[in-house]
Structure 1
């Protein structure tokens, strides 16, 4: 696996990009060991923190499970098995949407029982538009438990 250690200047640029997208100041400290693996995965001490997908900078689900800084979309338990297999979120599966979810927002998809994130997605509609809808696809599922990002390892295969 190809892995490149990022310089302090590159980390500063990455912090700026993270701040722009997620309003988090100085996510990586100057003492962190930050690397880019496979030109896609941003690692801190060997664990994926963020990754690029379709030109989007996305937080890993493992990071969101530690510290959920995304807006949430709560789904009913009947939708969980579908989301956990990578399906996009359809309107009937939603039981709640955080305020200020806008079209294009990166969101955490959480189950209603445990309120734990099971996927990271991109909203196709605003909260108000979703509430007016009864059917249709509302969130693209970009990363979920069990996908390639979730299963990524930096160790020997």
Structure 2
């Protein structure tokens, strides 16, 4: 892993990021030191007080699993059954038949947390391709694009 660029962000940029995060803005506390890391072959990582809590993919900033776990974020979620877990933690997108429950307020294009059914722990972060209602009702088709999951390079990132 080679870091190409590392710099602290100004307050104006931090405020813009917090606005973009919406529900997830609590990840950046007041007076936090926010640092941008540009890493070769990985999305940009935002360190919040030294912790990799946010990442930037295709001009969209999303929380990492470490942020979701540490802050116990429970809104905008989809719960997958036991059969889907092995595929999800290998980077597969989430299909509608594997979803047993979802937040009904989800709309297509939102960042959501994928939770496993038994222990209710987050195992991935993704972008919804359909609404929360459709995720539960549909019996075929792709529902969520998997962006970050337990065991990937961002999960194992050591700074």
CA RMSD of aligned residues (A): 1.8
Per the normalisation by structure 2, the TM-score is: 0.86
**Alpha-carbon distance in 1 for matches of 2:13, 2:135:** 38
In structure 1, runs of 5+ residues without a counterpart are none
Q: 2:115 aligns with which of 100, 105, 110?
A: 110
- Displacement, 1:100? 0.3
**Alpha-carbon distance in 2 for matches of 1:55, 1:45:** 22
- Displacement, 1:78? 1.1
- Displacement, 1:16? 2.7
Q: 1:5 aligns with which of 8, 27, 36?
A: 8
Does residue 50 of structure 2 align to residue 49 of structure 1?
no
**Alpha-carbon distance in 2 for matches of 1:35, 1:9:** 13
- Displacement, 1:141? 0.3
| Aligned pairs, number | 151
Assess if the C-alpha contact under 8 Å between 2:6 and 2:38 holds in 1: yes
Assess if the C-alpha contact under 8 Å between 2:27 and 2:53 holds in 1: no
Residues 1-157 of structure 1 mapped to structure 2, 5 A cutoff: 1=3, 2-19=5-22, 22=23, 24=25, 27-30=28-31, 32-38=32-38, 40-67=44-71, 68-154=73-159
